[in-house]
A = this chain, B = another copy of it.
């Protein structure tokens, strides 16, 4: 199934995100589950939603409304550096032996179609298209073989990165946490509908393809990331993991191509949809 967040309520979709006939049905009116996305996941809302049937005219036309971030204020946003083989190569670094985990601030999260507003002191803002996963139940010390059981589904993230700040201290978190630097959504596709091991991902900048890869190129797969992170640490429903970006980032181009005022960045993940945001620089 596919879900979006509209005005803080989880809605089920009757079709894919880009279809103009797709309708969004407010689950607060259809189940006893809390409608806020994290509470919905924690209460087992995904299972309840599978039992529902919808009439043809229920809900609203998705194309007529704005969506919120699929998880508006995540408790935790883990992200992982150098997790595509070809991206590690373009940065000139060896393949990591262990996941290089950093954190993005929940305050950076914005919705599909909201503007990425670059602070004035950031001179080298760069795009990073990423497959993002959303945790569905409390998870600690998870075996790789069971890891997908803890996953609610997949969404799309844009790990906007200030290259001029990323490397000066060695710690990545702050340079990737500016307000608006984490577009997230537009929708959640449940894990039963997709194969997280073979998802295509493409980032387009003003229509030009800049990144094109597949999660088959991940150094640490989605189950491996969940197993690694939960060693001694508890992930909670609604936690988000950005799984890394493929090759083709602006900083690795010759000459580098950083984000400019008015740029349109679209990230498409096969079977999931497209996350689209425009850049504002002052």
A99 to B108, CA, bound (A): 19
Q: Is the CB of B170 within 8 A of A100?
A: yes
Chain A, residues 157-173, CB within 8 Å of chain B (1/0): the string is 00000000000111111
Chain B residues lying within 8 Å of A73, measured Cβ to Cβ, are 75
A211 on the interface (CB 8 Å rule)? no
Residues in B whose Cβ lies below 8 Å from that of A102: 102-103, 171, 173
Q: How large is the interface on A (under 10, 10 to 19, 20 to 34, 35 or more residues)?
A: 35 or more
The answer to the question of A97 belonging to the interface, with a C-beta cut-off of 8 Å to chain B, is yes
CA of A100 to CA of B122 in the docked complex: distance in angstroms?
A: 17
Say yes or no: A169-B106 contact (C-beta < 8 A), given A73-B75, A119-B231, A178-B232: no
Docked complex Cα distance between A269 and B119 (Å): 36
Q: Which residues of B contact A101 (CB under 8 A)?
A: 169, 171, 173-174
Q: Contacting A105 at CB < 8 Å: which of B76, B96, B100, B119? A: B76
- The answer, among B75, B173, B179, B232, for a CB contact under 8 Å with A234, is B179
Q: Mark A203-239, 1 if CB is under 8 A from B, else 0.
A: 0000000000000000000000000010111111000
Q: Does A254 contact B (CB under 8 A)?
A: no
A178 CB → nearest B CB, Å: 4
- How far is the CB of A139 from the nearest CB of chain B, in Å? 11
Question: With A75-B106, A105-B76, A107-B76 in contact, do A121 and B232 touch (Cβ < 8 Å)?
Answer: yes
A-B contact pairs, 20 of them (CB 8 A): A75-B106, A76-B105, A76-B107, A81-B169, A96-B169, A99-B169, A99-B174, A100-B170, A100-B171, A102-B103, A102-B173, A119-B231, A120-B232, A122-B232, A140-B179, A173-B173, A174-B229, A178-B233, A179-B232, A179-B233
Contacts of A221-261 to chain B: CB distance below 8 A: 229, 231-236
Q: Are B171 and A107 in contact (CB under 8 A)?
A: no
Taking the complex as formed, is A32 at the interface, i.e. its CB lies under 8 A from any CB of chain B? no
Does A54 make an interface contact (CB < 8 A)?
no
A232, B168: Cα distance in complex, Å: 17
Q: CA A108 – CA B106 in complex, angstroms? A: 17
